Amino acid sequence: MKEQFEINEMLYRAVYPPEIMPMFWKENGELSSAVFKDKKGLSVERAGDRDEKTTLTQMRMFFYGTIVGVLAGDCKTCGAELRYLPTKRSKYHSEIHGSENRVMLSQAQCKYLASVARVCAV
């Protein structure tokens, strides 16, 4: 798999439901910017060579909750840095960083990604 991300490549993240993590959800049911905050780097699964159905099915084997997605292009739009970091569990594991030199996303980046993210599976 290429280390570079295509602008239209989807990046998926599992999000706990409001009953478990109310901070991830606004009262109106929209995603909170807290979904995109992680001091260690925001873990995502890239689509890579898979279609959405296959990606979601494979993610369901390991993750619980709602699966949301953002485009790689959305990350680039807000100045975030994408890193392809495969693990033993997943050759699709990647991270979104705030910049080349900063791991955590800024508040503005988190808000932007929350506003453009879409729910892919509940």
| Residue 71 neighbours by CB distance under 10 Å | 20
Per-residue pLDDT of the chain (122 residues; tens, 9 = 90+): 899 999 999 999 999 999 999 999 999 999 999 999 999 999 999 999 999 999 999 999 999 999 999 999 999 999 999 999 999 999 999 999 999 999 999 999 999 999 999 999 98
Q: Is there a contact between 67 and 58 (Cβ–Cβ < 8 Å)?
A: no
Write down the domain spans for the chain: 1-73+107-122
Q: Is there a contact between 46 and 92 (Cβ–Cβ < 8 Å)?
A: yes
Q: Is there a contact between 19 and 67 (Cβ–Cβ < 8 Å)?
A: no
**For the chain, how big is the Rg over CA atoms in Å?**
13
- Note the pTM of the prediction, 2 decimals: 0.95
